[in-house]
Structure formats: C-alpha cells, structure tokens
C-alpha cells in the first residue's frame, strides 16, 4: 500500500513524524524551515495559534491562527494544545487538531518552536518527535545578523541576545545539533536527518506485513 505521505522512493506505509527545528533568534531556523518546505513536498508546516497582532502580508490560517487572549486561554483550559508558551508578551501554541490524524496517514509536520515548546511536545508524544537544534557559528555573528535585519531596536536586540544565551544552554536536550555557518550546508545536514528519521524501522508501519509476505506467513 502506497500512502500519500511517503518520502519519494518509499513503497511501504509509514507513520509521519513531528520534525522540530529550534534555534536562537537569528541563527537560521526560519530560513532552513522555508527551504525544507520549498524543496520537500512531503512535509508541511504546523500552523500555530498566537495572540500577537497580524503583520503585513500574513494570512490567518496560513502563517498563524490569530486568536484573542480569551480564546487562547479557553483552548489552554480545554487541553487543545500540544504545547504553548508566552514569548515577548504574546502567546503561541500548537493545536493538536489534525496533526494526530495526519501522522497516522504518513504526513510529516515541521515545527518552528523554542526549547520550552520542544520539551512540552516531546513529553506528550516523544515517539513521533525528532528534535534538531541549530547553532550560530558565534555569538558575535548572531549579533551581527540580528542587527543587520534593521527591524529591531537596540533594546530588543539585547533581549534577544540574552534569550539566545539561555536557549543555547539547552542544546543537549535535542537529538541533533547543527552549526549554521553556511546556509546550504546546514540545510543539507537537516535534510539528511529528516530522510534518515523517515526510514527508521519503528516508523515503517507497513514492514510487518511486507516481511510476513516475504516469509510466506
């Protein structure tokens, strides 16, 4: 049986995975995430709910599910999130919704979340989670990238640098750690990790029946 959620070349049914990319702000997870979504048709972005205002060019339901503080609090009370956190004055959360059904059908989901969210997600569904942490080559380079954006004040950049140091301290809570010195090389390593995780025996749900057939059982 060939499932629509297969990686190219697979012929057996498999269970999807939740692929987490984390990094300090400015270290490259958003860029790598965009490259994965553009180049790999078998993975889709997990759309988070947030209470922050919509930015120009963003579309509700595509970039985020934009909700009120009251609606978000109700979702928390009803245990509708895999994980949620408050970051820079706004709430962000991952609705369970269609993700669990998608995993069973072999669909992969990409998560662009921080260390706190990663821990919550892993605790709730560790069998389906793959955790990748992206490091900058140096704090000096990270500061240069944040400053080069030209979108944040000196105070915001200082806060992001402080938060970056805290997030980097949790590097050993991830399955894989990749240094983003060159974006194409970093992407290649992340893509290799994703491909290898898709091929793990535990995720190849069609293997049992296939092997039984080979053995005539």
78 in a structural domain: no
Please state, in angstroms and rounded to a whole number, the distance separating the CA atoms of residues 61 and 6: 25
Please state, in angstroms and rounded to a whole number, the distance separating the CA atoms of residues 121 and 129: 8
> What is the pLDDT at residue 124?
87
115 in a structural domain: yes
148 in a structural domain: yes
DSSP three-state, residue 117: helix
145 in a structural domain: yes
Strand order through the sheet with 18-22: 43-45, 108-112, 18-22, 129-135, 176-179
Number of domains present in the structure of the chain? 1
Written as tens digits, the pLDDT of the chain (217 aa) is: 333 444 444 468 999 999 999 999 889 899 999 999 999 999 999 988 999 999 999 999 888 999 999 999 999 999 999 888 888 899 999 888 778 888 999 999 999 888 888 998 999 888 999 999 999 999 999 999 888 877 788 999 999 899 999 999 999 999 999 999 999 999 999 999 999 999 999 999 999 899 999 998 6
Helix (H) or strand (E) holding 130, with range, is strand 129-135
> What is the pLDDT at residue 11?
66
List Cβ neighbours of 117 (8 Å cut-off, separation of 6 or more): 83, 84, 85, 92, 94, 111
> What is the pLDDT at residue 61?
87
Query: What is the end-to-end Cα distance of the chain in Å, rounded?
Result: 18
The residue whose two tokens read 């979702």 is 75
pTM of the model: 0.80
Q: What is the CATH number of the domain that holds 201?
A: 3.40.50.300
- The residue segments making up the domain with residue 155 are 18-46+106-215
76 in a structural domain: no
152 in a structural domain: yes
> What is the pLDDT at residue 4?
40
Please state, in angstroms and rounded to a whole number, the distance separating the CA atoms of residues 142 and 53: 26
Please state, in angstroms and rounded to a whole number, the distance separating the CA atoms of residues 163 and 22: 13
**DSSP-derived secondary structure letter, 62:** T
């Amino acid at each position: 049986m060939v499932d629509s959620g297969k990686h190219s070349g697979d012929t057996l049914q498999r269970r999807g995975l939740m692929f987490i990319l984390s990094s300090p702000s400015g270290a490259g997870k958003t860029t790598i995430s965009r490259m994965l979504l553009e180049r790999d048709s078998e993975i889709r972005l997990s759309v988070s709910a947030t209470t922050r205002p919509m930015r120009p060019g963003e579309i509700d339901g595509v970039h985020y599910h934009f909700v009120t503080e009251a609606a978000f609090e109700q979702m928390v009370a009803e245990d509708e999130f895999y994980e949620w956190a408050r970051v820079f004055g706004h709430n962000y959360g991952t609705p369970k919704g269609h993700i669990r059904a998608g995993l069973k059908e072999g669909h992969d989901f990409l998560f662009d979340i921080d260390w706190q969210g990663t821990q919550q997600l892993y605790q709730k569904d560790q069998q389906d989670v793959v955790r990748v942490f992206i490091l900058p080559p140096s704090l000096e380079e990270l500061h240069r990238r944040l400053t080069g954006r030209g979108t944040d004040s000196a105070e915001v950049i200082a806060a992001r640098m402080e938060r970056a140091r805290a997030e980097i301290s949790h590097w050993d809570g991830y399955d894989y750690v990749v240094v983003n010195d060159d974006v194409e090389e970093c992407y290649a390593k992340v893509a290799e990790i994703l491909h290898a995780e898709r091929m793990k025996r535990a995720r190849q749900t069609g293997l049992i029946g296939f092997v039984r057939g080979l053995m005539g059982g």
